[in-house]
Amino acid sequence: MACESQHFLNEHNINPNVKVMEYAVRGPLLIRACEIEKELEQGIEKPFTEVIKANIGDGHAMGQIPITFVRQILALVTYPPLFDNPIFPEDAKERARVILSGCRGGSIGSYTEACGIEIIRKHVAQYIERRDGISSNWQNIVLTSGASDGIKKILKLFICKENGKKTGVMIPIPQYPFYSATLDEFNMYQIRYYLDESKGWGLNIDELQRSIDEARRLCHPRVLVVINPGNPTGQVLTKENIEAIIKFAYKERLFLLADEVYQDNVYAENSKFHSFKKIMTEMGEPYNKMELASFMSCSKGYMGECGLRGGYTEVINMCPKVKAMYFKANTAMLCPSVLGQACLDTIVNPPGEGELSYEKFIREKEDVLNSLKFRAKMVVDAFNSFEGFSCNEVQGALYAFPQFKLPLKAIEAAKEVNQHPDVFYAFQLLENAGVCVVPGSGFGQQPGTFHFRTTILPQVDKLKIMLDKFEAFHKEFINKYK
């Protein structure tokens, strides 16, 4: 009560949407993991010597080596006197000059246009054209401070009740908690459609229909979100599945949001990334006239430059009047991170064959992706060997989402401490083995099932240690509660 009398802003008059939103990836488990790290620094004894944070897709935090070409250009644009240094190859210098020529005053420290530097937007369009084999208009490209920033800017356009009903946004379950948190923040309705774990986390059209039919009495469905490759599930959609999704969205008059930030991360032999834009275009009318926003980021792929916050949004077939207001809304934030824009340029405009940096760039890129492919199989094989575990193939992205069975005694123990069973398991794993994962309940899961998400990002030696610790903990946990 004293607190409320001292503060004009308190828990009773704060924005109620902020109170209800949750973001599991950086939730209580990570807070406790950071506390444990401090305890270890203070010399407090634990049954482990370090905390392995497998909770978030942060490549460099897990030991991934930055791509040389990316960092060379970032160094050059940040500190131009380095242009005189012969250690930097000429192709990197030329790209850095082009980026700086698009900056006011020739400095990366200046504001850019609200939608980003024009030449980088043109490079993004050229990248999309090379990827899809179809044209891309640079004026449909908006550079963003990471994909999350771009997704929120699109979703904001839909904050509008119709006939007293909230906007409904269809999101996959399991989902990346950013979506549920954002929808809570924007006071939108989550239309949850379940992915089919028994079919490699496939997307079933009948399930899409069930979820939208049930939601109509509670909201006005307007948006369909698809994450491909999947997070946290690691599946890669087939061309046929994408075609069926597009037909469903057309029938139900839904704006498509394609979260494609893991498009470089495809490991399964029979899997291939297909962009929604490419498939929509190839399907012809009326599907090639559908509204779509797609997203890409510097944070994932082989780059792992999470902290630089670079990304892009491509919008196609958006109503011109809406597009004008979308661009207007972007001006309120002045511009996205210019360092992030420069980083993005290195991804969409990499060295070409015959250029000085090409061979080293390709070698480093392939080394990262081949290692991730190896680790994806390593994680799946390990979890499938544990008692009561089942884990689908990680076809792409950076995560595994295994299901595990819990003894009744463990479920009862979780109830006694007022925790969801998978949260209880994850906390016990952290406290006893020093491994931090995210409980499946933070992503959504079929009732009665238990999962967790772990990244495949720890380097091979560290990943082996993590999996060995995990196996030893799991055996002890099962024996304790059997």
Tokens of residue 170, six digits: 């269809």
The answer to whether 400 and 394 have CB atoms below 8 angstroms apart is yes
Residue 22's pLDDT band, with cuts at 50, 70 and 90, is low
Query: 464 by DSSP, 3-state: which?
Result: helix
100-348 in CATH: which number?
Answer: 3.40.640.10
Looking at residue 242, what is its pLDDT?
A: 95
Query: Among 199-203, 266-270, 443-447, whose mean pLDDT is lowest?
Result: 443-447
For a pLDDT cut of 70, what percent of the chain falls above it?
98
Find the distance separating the first CA and the last CA of the chain, reported in whole Å. Answer: 46
* Residue in 382, 465, 403 with CA at minimum distance from that of residue 197: 403
Instruction: Indicate whether 327 pLDDT > 50.
Output: yes
Instruction: Indicate whether 2 pLDDT > 60.
Output: no
Averaged over 340-349, what is the pLDDT?
95
Averaged over 207-228, what is the pLDDT?
95
Looking at residue 280, what is its pLDDT?
A: 96
Looking at residue 335, what is its pLDDT?
A: 87
Residue 4's pLDDT band, with cuts at 50, 70 and 90, is low
Cα dihedral 192, 198, 204, 207, rounded to 10, equals: -40
Which H or E run contains 255? strand 255-259
For a pLDDT cut of 90, what percent of the chain falls above it?
67
Residue 175's pLDDT band, with cuts at 50, 70 and 90, is confident
HSE-up of residue 392 (Cα within 13 Å, Cβ side): 22
pLDDT in tens, 435-458: 999 888 888 888 889 999 999 999
Instruction: Indicate whether 199 pLDDT > 70.
Output: yes
pLDDT in tens, 93-114: 999 999 999 999 989 888 888 8
Beta-bridged to residue 196, according to DSSP, are: 202
Tokens of residue 201, six digits: 């986390």
Residue 3's pLDDT band, with cuts at 50, 70 and 90, is low
Looking at residue 53, what is its pLDDT?
A: 86
Beta-bridged to residue 411, according to DSSP, are: none
HSE-up of residue 344 (Cα within 13 Å, Cβ side): 35
- Quote the CA–CA distance of 278 and 239 in Å, as a whole number: 10
Instruction: Indicate whether 23 pLDDT > 80.
Output: no
Cβ-count burial of 255 within 10 angstroms (0-12 exposed, 13-18 middle, 19+ buried)?
buried
Instruction: Indicate whether 16 pLDDT > 80.
Output: no
Averaged over 266-278, what is the pLDDT?
94
Give the residue extent of every domain in the chain.
2-63+363-481, 100-348
pTM: 0.89
* Residue in 193, 185, 189 with CA at minimum distance from that of residue 19: 185
Looking at residue 1, what is its pLDDT?
A: 47
Tell me if domain 2-63+363-481 and domain 100-348 are identical in fold.
no
pLDDT in tens, 291-325: 999 999 999 989 999 889 999 999 999 999 988 88
2-63+363-481 in CATH: which number?
Answer: 3.90.1150.10
